[in-house]
């Protein structure tokens, strides 16, 4: 990768808009599409989503767990899907939520190496073993132009029971850590995950220097108005939609139209 992830993300958002679409092929959705819950069904699902969206959406976010549950054949499907998406111009954010220490975290971070068989542009990670636990991933991202999105203030309803503990809160400490990683870079490659469903923004993102991944649009209740209310302007926000786009499948044209409707709503 010739450019840092933060720069590539900013350019993709300028060219394609900020929408990120999650690729979440869980068993009920495969069934709804008329596909078997098998590696073959998984491949047909993934091919349709990549065909429909990779040429127009800024970021695609496959959920690793839904491929891992099919074993090695599922991971092979994901390898092909990631390669196809990136070849069509989409950035790929692997939703893995990895978090560990030492050589184990270093191995998880290998997804950001360009020579990895499942090389992606960015990775979601969990910080709850401490900021130092993520240093191998930070180092790998810097070395290879990759990005990280760190769980900070997530969209699930009971997240605050842990994330809002303390003063400053755990979530704020995560944001402050990521801010430090981005210091001195014009377009930081390290972002945080902050849900679009929050009733109020209870973390200070001032000077973050990197992007915010905002899940929760659509089926979880978040709206473009919530994004504007929570984040205002001046922060690179990447809103995520999954179910409201994927429900339009398996027709490729319908998937593309669903994503375009969300893109238009975000542009207003």
Q: Where are the domains of the chain?
A: 5-267
Strand pairing category for 190-194 and 237-241: unpaired
**Looking at 26, 97, 142, 229, which residue is catalytic?**
97
Q: Cβ of 264: how many Cβ atoms within 10 Å?
A: 12
Which residues make Cβ contacts (< 8 Å) with residue 149, sequence separation at least 6? 93, 122, 123, 124, 125, 191, 192, 193, 211, 213
Res 128: pLDDT = 93
Closest CA to 192 of 147, 225, 156: 147
Burial class (CB in 10 A: 0-12, 13-18, 19+), 67: buried
CB 214 within 8 A of CB 195: yes
Per-residue pLDDT tens digits of the chain, which is 268 residues long: 579 999 999 999 999 999 999 999 999 999 999 999 999 999 999 999 999 999 999 999 999 999 999 999 999 999 999 999 999 999 999 999 999 999 999 999 999 999 999 999 999 999 999 999 999 999 999 999 999 999 999 999 999 999 999 999 999 999 999 999 999 888 899 999 999 999 999 999 999 999 999 999 988 889 999 999 999 988 899 999 999 999 999 999 999 999 999 999 999 8
Alpha-carbon distance of 228 to 244, in angstroms, equals 20
CB 218 within 8 A of CB 244: yes
61 is catalytic: no
Per CATH, domain 5-267 is 3.20.20.70? yes
CB 203 within 8 A of CB 235: no
pTM > 0.95: yes
Exposure string for 70-105, b = 16+ CB within 10 A, e = fewer: beeebbbbbeebbebbbeeebbbbbbbbbbbeeeeb
């Amino acid at each position: 990768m010739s450019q840092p992830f933060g720069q590539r993300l900013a350019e993709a958002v300028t060219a394609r808009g900020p929408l990120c679409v999650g690729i979440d092929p869980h068993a009920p959705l495969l069934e709804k599409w008329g596909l078997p819950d098998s590696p073959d069904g998984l491949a047909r699902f993934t091919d349709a989503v990549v065909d429909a969206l990779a040429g127009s959406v800024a970021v695609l976010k496959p959920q690793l767990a839904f491929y891992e549950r099919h074993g090695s054949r599922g991971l092979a499907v994901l390898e092909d899907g990631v390669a196809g998406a990136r070849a069509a111009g989409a950035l790929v954010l692997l939703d893995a939520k990895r978090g560990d220490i030492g050589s184990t975290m270093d191995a998880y971070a290998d997804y950001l190496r360009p020579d990895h068989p499942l090389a992606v542009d960015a990775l979601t990670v969990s910080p709850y073993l401490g900021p130092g636990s993520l240093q191998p991933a930070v180092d790998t991202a810097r070395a290879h132009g990759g990005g990280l999105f760190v769980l900070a203030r997530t969209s699930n309803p009971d997240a605050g029971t842990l994330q809002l503990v303390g003063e400053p809160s755990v979530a704020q400490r995560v944001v402050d850590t990521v801010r430090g990683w981005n210091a001195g870079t014009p377009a930081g490659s390290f972002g945080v995950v902050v849900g679009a469903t929050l009733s109020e923004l209870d973390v200070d993102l001032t000077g973050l220097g990197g992007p915010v991944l905002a899940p929760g649009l659509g089926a979880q209740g978040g709206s473009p108005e919530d994004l504007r209310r929570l984040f205002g302007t001046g922060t690179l926000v990447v809103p995520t939609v999954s179910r409201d786009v994927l429900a339009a499948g398996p027709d490729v044209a319908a998937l593309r139209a669903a994503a375009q409707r969300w893109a238009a709503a975000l542009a207003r």
